[in-house]
Amino acid sequence: MTSLQTAPWAAHRAADRLADAMRSGVPVSPVRDLIGRDDVALAYAVQQLGTARRLASGARLVGRKIGLTSPAVQKQLDVDQPDFGVLFADMDVTTTPVADRPVLLQPKVEAEIAFILASDLDSDRLDATTVRAAVHHAVAALEIVDSRIENWDISFGDTVADNASSGWFVLGARTWSLDDIDPVDVTMQMSIDGALASTGAGEACMGDPLNALAWLARTARTFGEPLRAGEIVLSGALGPMAPLYPGSHVHADLGIAGTVEFTWKETE
């Protein structure tokens, strides 16, 4: 991981700007004026700075998220490649009390699959076949994505720096084995307050959610931070994301993979 001392000056400035948004609850201007639109290494350096700061403050890392896997979401955000971020324990709103959750600024919600790993993914061969064997079980999931960048005016560099536009996530109650259900066969319908908001399928996620998991495993290993046993990995969206507002109730039906739901309550 890039240290706070050796990261480029521009990365520190960008990380500070994003941290200001979290502290104030007010979105900030894009950071691409500091790090460029497509400098992947510099964008991830900013993300690593933010991660290091959160860990130093006592946050606990529980997994990773894959973003921008769906062509529909790429089109929504005008980007053309996947990215990844990290998941902290307080982002899991399945269990985290309202008062302890990270602040949301401009949330949107999407339905996907969460993989829970049984073994490390740090070998030389990391493809859809080998990563399948590393999955202990999977569940239906919701990801509440968010952006610290005002009006979601993001380039690839902006979203990577902003921890892949992470927010919260919700895990379904029903676990399932990849021996019983193939992720590519999963279908998805997501409703908000009873109105259909998004549809999709496993194949919308890089052709197969296991392809997305393999991509992340290879990329994380390249960055020197391989996926580890016990981590949660969010696959990336199975269809378009939709805006989310306080009080809204989200219900996603992933067919053979079960359901997951969430109501955004501001108090308990």
The Cα 113–Cα 186 span in angstroms is: 9
> Residue 253 corresponds to which amino acid?
D
Closest CA to 87 of 61, 48, 123: 61
pLDDT score of 268: 66
pLDDT on residue 240:
92
- pLDDT recorded at residue 158: 96
Give the type of residue at 25. Answer: G
Cβ 233 vs Cβ 117: under 8 Å? yes
Say which range, 34-38, 111-115, 187-191, has the weakest mean pLDDT.
34-38
Q: Which residue type sits at 32?
A: R
Domain extent listing, the chain: 60-263
Per-residue pLDDT averaged across 200-209, rounded?
Answer: 95
- Per-residue pLDDT at 90 exceeds 50: yes
The pLDDT score that the predictor gives to residue 78 is 75
Residue 4, pLDDT > 60, answer: no
Nearest to 252 by CA among 264, 266, 238, 265: 238
Q: pLDDT of 148-179, one tens digit each?
A: 999 999 999 999 999 999 999 999 999 999 99
Q: Would you call 146 exposed, middle or buried from its count of C-beta atoms within 10 A (0-12, 13-18, 19+)?
A: buried
Residue 196 has pLDDT above 90, yes or no: yes
pLDDT above 90 (res 7): no
DSSP string, 100-114: GSPP-SS-EEEEEEE
Residue 134 confidence class, pLDDT cut points 50, 70, 90 = very high
pLDDT the model gives residue 207: 94
Percent of the chain surpassing pLDDT 90: 87
The fold for domain 60-263 equals Fumarylacetoacetate hydrolase; domain 2 (3.90.850)
CA–CA gap between residue 210 and residue 182 (Å, rounded): 9
Per-residue pLDDT band for 6 (boundaries 50, 70, 90) equals low
Give me the helices (H) in the chain, please.
Answer: 9-24, 32-35, 40-56, 71-77, 128-134, 156-161, 209-222
Place of tokens 């996926």: 227
Asked whether the predicted pLDDT for residue 2 surpasses 50, the reply is no
**In the predicted model, what is the mean pLDDT of residues 111-138?**
95
pLDDT digits (tens, 9 = 90+) for 237-258: 999 999 999 999 999 999 999 9
Instruction: Report the mean per-residue pLDDT for the chain.
Output: 93
Mean pLDDT to the nearest integer, 125-143:
95
pTM: 0.93
Residue 3, pLDDT > 50, answer: no
- Scanning the structure block, which residue is given the tokens 């016990």? 230
Candidate from 41-45, 78-82, 84-88, 207-211 with smallest mean pLDDT:
78-82
Mean of pLDDT values over 80-87: 91
Taking residues 40-53, what's their average pLDDT? 94
Find the mean pLDDT for residues 136-150: 98
